[in-house]
Structure 1
Amino acid sequence: MSRTSRSRRTPRPGEPCPCGLPAGYGDCCGRFHAGQSAPTAEALMRSRFSAFAVEDEAYLLRTWHPSTRPAQVDFDRDMRWTGLEIEAATGGSPIHTEGIVTFRAGYDYRGQPGEMREQSRFVRHEGAWVYRDAVGE
């Protein structure tokens, strides 16, 4: 992926949230991007997808486990995230310390639609949910 010179585009609070839930961005993932902690692994997964969609590098790094966190997030100027479908979630509730979320993420790359599928592992770190890695990595 290549670093872009595009500026980050933050949706307005009432605009649809990139994660696909019916709430507006401000009431959905925007509140997490602004500093509120996600209460579940699935909520964190959705908010991280939205952060990729709006290119919020600071949020992505803040919600990445220190043992697997990259130095930076490189956004590809030719990639646009278009949709998210949560297929399953195991654990990851407010009472758990670990969780796995299986999802499919749609994208458009240079005008061609595509999809990625992953099982993401989330853990609690210093009381907050963070992305650890993909299952099988």
Structure 2
Amino acid sequence: MWKISQNLEIPLEEVDMHAMRSGGAGGQNVNKVSTAIHLRFDIRASSLPPAIKERLLGLRDQRITADGVVVIKGQRFRTQEKNRADVLERLGELIVSVAKVPKKRVATKPTRGSRERRLKQKSRRGQIKSLRGKVSDQ
């Protein structure tokens, strides 16, 4: 079991990780050693609570495919172990970000004083603009 937060954990069997060769500069090490990690996590098939699944699927994140699979590629580090820990941490951050239930907004009316101040400011701006007109000889 992989513990994401105090009250949230998932089995590591649900997280699919494959090692592959990194891209970019690095010379012989990059060309010969598979240090990059490609993580795939199927949200719908996971054991996450339904509310968290729903919020994850509702995210507008480029790492989540249309099929509901989170895809994260890690190649920041030179070792496979560090890249594996990095992608797991990034997946954990993504899940924790939706685990907290957003507070419902309570609609409120503007106060009487704020309405009066707004109208007073509007009339003041109107007077300033009216004084910008042409000057008459009278």
What is the TM-score when the length of structure 1 is the normalising length? 0.22
Larger relative helix fraction: 2
Q: TM-score, normalised by structure 2?
A: 0.22
